[in-house]
């Protein structure tokens, strides 16, 4: 039995681990359908080259987390972690526009996931040490 496939799988895992600097959870509540846009900031020094790729894709037009993960060929969780870094640097924003905000007579009474993601990103930027997210149990 060949170990080549296992070595490639291990290599992908190690690359993802180093890409996220060992982090396993994003700092922001981002859904698979969260839409992202390029912001006015720039990625910090030492950020992964994938961050530049994410920004280049979002400069073309708004992209969802799922689309970014697919285009980069990376796990969704890793992309969410990188996006969290970009949100911290104001290099990315979660736009809240009419199509994503709950509004109108037929709108669900709950806030949209898009609105919650934008709120989460804004609060975390304003008070980075004050927000604690409950752990899933």
Q: Which token pair is 73?
A: 């060929």
Q: How far apart are CA 86 and CA 59, in angstroms?
A: 13
CA–CA gap between residue 88 and residue 41 (Å, rounded): 9
Comparison of pLDDT for 93 and 103, the residue scoring more: 93
Mean pLDDT, residues 89-103 taken together: 70
Global pTM?
0.64
pLDDT per residue over 18-39, tens digit each?
A: 878 888 888 888 888 899 999 9
Q: Which residues pair with 92 in a beta bridge?
A: 38
Band of pLDDT at residue 2, cut at 50, 70 and 90 = very low
In Å, what is the CA distance from 118 to each residue of 8, 10, 67, 79, 122? 37, 35, 18, 17, 6
Residue 98 has pLDDT above 70, yes or no: no
d(CA 66, CA 92): 16
Is the CB of residue 44 less than 8 Å from the CB of residue 98?
Answer: no
Cα–Cα distances in angstroms (integers) from residue 52 to residues 38, 68, 79, 97, 131, in the given order: 11, 12, 12, 25, 27
For 50-62, the pLDDT digits (tens) are 889 999 999 999 9
Quote the percentage of the chain above a pLDDT of 70.
Answer: 73
Tell me which of 29-33, 95-99, 110-114, 131-135 is least confident. Answer: 131-135
Cα dihedral across residues 81, 87, 92, 95: positive or negative: positive
Instruction: State yes or no: pLDDT of 136 exceeds 50.
Output: no
Decide: 36 and 118 in contact? Cβ < 8 Å: no
What is d(CA 90, CA 84) in angstroms, rounded to the nearest whole number? 10
The pLDDT of residue 118 is: 78
pLDDT value, residue 1? 45
* Percent of the chain whose predicted confidence (pLDDT) is above 90: 27
The alpha carbon of 37 is separated from its chain's Cα centroid by a whole number of angstroms, namely: 11
Q: What is the pLDDT of residue 132?
A: 57
């Amino acid at each position: 039995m060949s170990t080549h496939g296992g070595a490639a799988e291990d290599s992908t895992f190690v690359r993802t681990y180093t890409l996220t600097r060992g982090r396993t959870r994003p700092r922001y509540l981002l859904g698979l359908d969260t839409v992202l846009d390029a912001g006015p900031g720039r990625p910090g020094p030492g950020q992964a080259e994938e961050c530049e790729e994410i920004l280049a894709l979002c400069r073309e037009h708004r992209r969802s987390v799922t689309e970014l993960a697919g285009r980069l060929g990376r796990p969704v969780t890793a992309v969410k972690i990188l996006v969290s870094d970009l949100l911290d640097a104001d290099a990315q924003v979660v736009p809240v526009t009419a199509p994503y905000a709950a509004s109108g007579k037929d709108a669900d009474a709950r806030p949209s996931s898009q609105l919650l993601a934008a709120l989460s990103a804004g609060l975390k930027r304003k008070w980075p040490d004050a927000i604690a997210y409950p752990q899933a149990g």
